Every structure is written in C-alpha cells, then in structure tokens.
Chains A and B, each alone.
Chain A
Amino acid sequence: MNVPPKPNSYRTGPDDRGRFGIYGGRFVAETLMPLILDLEKAYAEARQDSAFAKEMTGYLTHYVGRPSPLYFAERLTDHFGGAKIYLKREELNHTGSHKVNNVLGQILLARRMGKKRIIAETGAGQHGVATATLCARFGLECVVYMGAVDVARQAPNVFRMKMLGAEVVPVQSGARTLKDAMNEALRDWVTNVGNTFYCIGTVAGPHPYPGMVRDFQSVIGDETRSQMHEAEGRLPDSLIACVGGGSNAIGLFHPFLDDPTVEIYGVEAAGHGLTKLHAASIAGGRAGVLHGNRTYLLMDDDGQIQEGHSISAGLDYPGIGPEHSWLNDIGRVKYLSATDDEAVAAFQLLSKIEGIIPALESAHALAKVADLAPTKPRDHLMVVNLSGRGDKDVPQVAEILGTKL
C-alpha cells in the first residue's frame, strides 16, 4: 500500500531545507546542528534499508500489536443517523495510544546511531510512557521531562514511567507544562549532545523530526487504506483526528492526501472557547518560530509565546506541526476545534454506546463527528482516529462530573 508519491503531490514534503512551504526548518542552537545533520543522514539511510523496515514491522506486529482494528461503530452510526462511522483503534496498541508507533521508530534509529541515553518530553504522559516502555525493552537509559503541573495532574502515568525504569524530571520553569518540558529537554540535549538521542513525541521540532515522525505514524493511514478496502471495497470519504502537535492526525491523513475525494478534518482544542483560553494554534494563532520550527503558534503581539489551555493535557501545546500549518494554508485539510465541554460530552457518549472509553484527546475528534456525521448520506464512509484510551482520564472526568472516586 506504500504508493510512491507522484509529482505535484501533497506528500513530497519536506524539501531539503526541511520546509513545508514556509513552515518547518531548523531553528536551533549551533551546538545541536551537527547532531541534527547526523540524524537526518542516519534516518535517510535507515529509510532505504530493508533491514530497518523489517525490524520495524516485526516489533509493530509482535510487540505493539498491529495492525490495530478498523472497527465499524454501528451504534454510533445509528445514533447520529448519517455517515457510516469507523473507528481506527489506536487505543488498542501496547501502552494505550498511537505514540508507541513513533517511539519504536526513533528508538530503533537511536540504536543504529549507537546512542545509549534517550530523553523525551511529555504532556499527558502517553509519549513518556511509550518512550519509557521501549527504553525498558532495549535496555536504554531514559529521562522524561514533564511540566510540574502535569506531573501533579497525571500521577498514574508518572508512576508507570518510574515502574518502567525511567527518570521523570518535573520541570519548574515557565508555566510548568508541555511547552516548558520541551524547552528543558532541548536544554538537556544541548548539554549532553554527545551520547543522547532526543525522542520527540509529535510532528514538531527541527527538521528532520516532523517528516520522520510522520513517516513512523503513517502506518495508521496505510492500514486504514487497506482495511477500508477490505471492508467496503473503496476509499473512505472523510477522515477525522484530533490535533495536539498533530502526529496521530498526520499519521492517518498522509497516505490519503493525494486522494481528492477524501475530505480531511483536524480538530484542535478550543478549551473554554476560541476567544478565551484555548490551545487552537491554527484557529487562534499565527506563524512564528519556536522549538526548532516555523509554524502556527499562540503568542502575544510582541512574539512572546502564550500557554495553551485544554482539558486534555495532550492537546495543550501552543504550537502545531509545520506540515499541518502548510496543509491548512493550501486548504487540503480543514481544521476545526472542539471545546472542553464538547469533548467531555463525546467522552461520555462513546463510553455509553460503544463500550469504549476514549482518551480526552480523541474525544475532541469525536466531538466534531457529532457535527459532521448527521450532515452526510448513509453511504458516506467516515474514519475517526481513536488515538488513545481514556483510562488515564477517568479521575479527571469523574471530578468534572462531580463524582468522588
């Protein structure tokens, strides 16, 4: 199913300067540049190497548990009375989300490069858990940076990472959330550049990360393509995924970008609303430079970065991957947003009528299904990426619903 991209394709980026249109690039301190160039070269080599692909496929099958099912959500479909809704079940992966697809790729690459120490940043803890898991599996030292605020609100994931042998460093700088965790990881990397591999959790950061992470996540869309073919004998009509940095979304979208009949929707976190506190970088931000790339960012008039807010700790990043910024500007993908309240409603709905408790992140995508599905005909095939499971969010949702656990 790996169709090579055609000329005039939406799938050829990034260019050799790491750009998707004006977005992307390599905006990092000089200390990191030699390493980033090494990484770019190592990844280009690994991509050409069938042994790397074979190793990847082996672990994806036997360790991660892929392919993840494409499940026809019959009751959800009946509930909305429009499009035929399929769920891509990334929440059934080992460690409970799509994050593991990317981490596996990066860890195998780090091994090829001879790096023994892995660092990562995490918001909700899902990427941290996935990284800690694969470091345990391959006997690598693992240090995870996590904003002190997130350490407090995601205690089960912190404990999980520690059980897996990782060191979790609570970050006290800035607003003590994901953005600051990424700053601190970059500071560690600048300091320990010789032996350390930075495993970035989404399609952001300096080139080659956005393209590389996308490639590792594209397994989601590749599988969806063949699974939909098997189930319905044709392409889906629409795709929907939530967007934090945008890795689960681009993983689903990318293999379909050149299929003009496929409508594609990304859903950002609108928090309390787009005129209030939110984390919708495209809807409420503009182009700027942070964390090694140019992309849509939340900031003030002086170019100072603002905090994102979302009920979901995995979505409250003030930026978005550069490829999404480009896909937005050229109009190939439509970016919508869902509020905290809409996400909580979707969280409850899916739990009740399909017996699947989704991550609050994924619930943002489901919230927009509620708007879109009823407007579509019964033969419209819609795929929603269920990026993670909601076990981690149960205590928080209980609190919101006023239930004492």
Chain B
Amino acid sequence: MSTRLDTRFADLAREGRAGLVTYVMAGDPDRETARAILKALPGAGADVIEFGMPFTDPMADGPAIQAAGLRALSGGQTLKKTLEDIAWFRSGDQTTPIVLMGYYNPIYIYGVDRFLDDAKAAGIDGLIVVDLPPEEDAELCLPALKAGLNFIRLATPTTDDKRLPTVLTNTSGFVYYVSITGITGMATPNFDRTAEAVARIKRHTSLPVAVGFGVKNADHAAAVARGADAVVVGSALVDAVKASLDQDGKGSARTAQAVADIVGSLASGVRGARRAAE
C-alpha cells in the first residue's frame, strides 16, 4: 500500500532534492491562528507537516515546545479538536502528508481503537509518539500499522547498530533521526556526524531518513539537506509563533505570515542544498 508519505518521498527523490518537514503545535497560540498556520504551510514550502498534540508533560521537549503546548492547552485545545483541525485542513488539501506527533497518554485516554478510526477519517497519514519505544509496539504501533497509518520511529545517537534493526522493525513512512542526545530546540548538531548517521541508517533500511532537532535557520537546513532525505524543523517555527504574539499573548494577524516567512526561508535552504551538492 502506498501512502501519502510514500508518494511524497518518491516525488522528492524524482526531483532530486531533500524535503522540508515542519512541526507546529495544534491549537497554538489559539485554534483559529493554528488553523491559519496549518493552511499556510504547504504554500510556504513545507513538504510534510508534523502537527503536535499538546501534552502537559512533554519529557523530551525543550522550553519552546513546552510553552507552545501550554498555550494550546490553556486555549482549550483537545485531541478531539486536533483531529477536527486536520479534517478541516484535508478539505482543502488532499496531498500534503500530515503526521501527528506527541505523547501517548492523551491517545490512551481517548482510546486506541477509537483514535485510529478518527485519525484515519480525519486524513492523518502517520504517527510519531515519543514515549513508545519498540518495546511497547503492541500498545499503538501494531494497531496503527494494521489500520493503514504509518508509524514513524525516532532513531538517536544512542541507537547503535545492534539496536537499529529493533527500531526499524515496524517503522514505516520515514525514519526520524534525532541528531543530538537531548531535548528539542537546544543544541545545534554537528552536520558531518548527522550525515554519517544517515548513511549508517541507510545501510539497514530503504526508508527515507529525515533529520531533526537543532535546525534553526536556512543555513542549518541546507547543511542537513545535503546528507538526508528530509529536514525537520520545529522549535524555530514555534519560536516565530511566540515572537508574533500581541501584548496580551494572543495570536495576531501577523502570526501565520511570520511562520510562513520562516518556512519559506528554510525551504529555500533545503531546495538550494541538493542542487549545490550535485
């Protein structure tokens, strides 16, 4: 079965360039603005969208994404609303792959079977659930694959060659290589080493490899794009949301445009890179 993600990565390979994966938080800073951001992403240059599910206790995230989650929650965002936001987006865009990213508890409480039905109906393509390692595949990964959703796993610098096959089993769509041992939005990775890591992962799988954590600007994005199939950017976009808030901490007319501007710049970095390398 070919999914929107498979199709998109095949297109990118044909174009001979890396893709840009953009992460934004559902409901941040408020539901209306978050929808406007979501809608603006493909036009601005996002090839794949990661939509964050807010959670009170995001143990692998840095301050920027923690704060975005709390903004969304204080505005009343729920998992149900997040799924509705995606259905709304799908009514205008049938091709851009959307991956939900977050933590397991809200899904567990929603109910795994009901969640998979509703996610599928909303037009979601894949899931990244940070606190579900392969050891817990029976919880969500296996049912998600059965339901026809991709389950994207994180590989990290601590995932050695011995463990990689465990991580890659049941992974689909793409592999997300976390370029640092650390939380989101903090250290900038060593780009030579991420390229080596991508090459290492590719010896174990034919899946595309996206690299994320620590990519903040077009130069970083270009550097990563030279050695990976896609570049993931999150905290920089979430920071742009924060910087655009008005005095009362509310989303403004400028917010979606501010995010789109950064995405445009990152996309030009990503698109220029492969050409430069070739």
Where the two chains meet, the residues of A that have a C-beta atom closer than 8 Å to any C-beta of B are 17, 25-35, 173-174, 179-180, 183, 186-187, 190-194, 288-292, 294, 297, 299, 301-305
Contact = CB atoms under 8 A, between A and B. Distances in A.
A20 B60 CA distance: 25
A191 B186 CA distance: 10
B163 A291 contact: no
Chain B interface size, as a band, is: 35 or more
Given A191-B183, A289-B105, A31 B178 contact: yes
Contact of B181 (A179, A193, A290): A193
B64 to A, nearest CB: 12
Nearest to B166: A33
Given A302-B106, A304-B73, A183 B57 contact: yes
Interface string B33-64: 00000000000000000000001111111110
A27 to B, nearest CB: 4
B105 A31 contact: no
B109 A302 contact: yes
Given A27-B136, A173-B63, A191-B181, A304 B131 contact: no
Given A30-B133, A290-B57, A302-B79, A190 B105 contact: no
Contact of B158 (A34, A289, A292, A305): A34
Interface of B: 55-63, 66, 70, 73, 78-80, 103-110, 130-136, 153-160, 163, 167, 178, 181-183, 186
A302 B136 CA distance: 22
B133 A28 contact: yes
B57 A174 contact: yes
Given A194-B181, A303-B106, A29 B59 contact: yes
B109 A31 contact: no
B36 to A, nearest CB: 23
A279 B156 CA distance: 36
A289 B57 contact: no
B78 A302 contact: yes
A269 to B, nearest CB: 20
Contacts of A174: 56-57, 66, 70
A292 B131 contact: yes
A193 B183 CA distance: 12
Given A173-B63, A193-B181, A288-B108, A304 B158 contact: no
B105 A303 contact: yes
B159 A305 contact: no
A34 B58 CA distance: 20
B155 A30 contact: yes
Tell which of A173, A289, A294, A301 has the most Cβ of chain B within 10 Å. Answer: A289
Given A187-B59, A191-B186, A304 B106 contact: yes
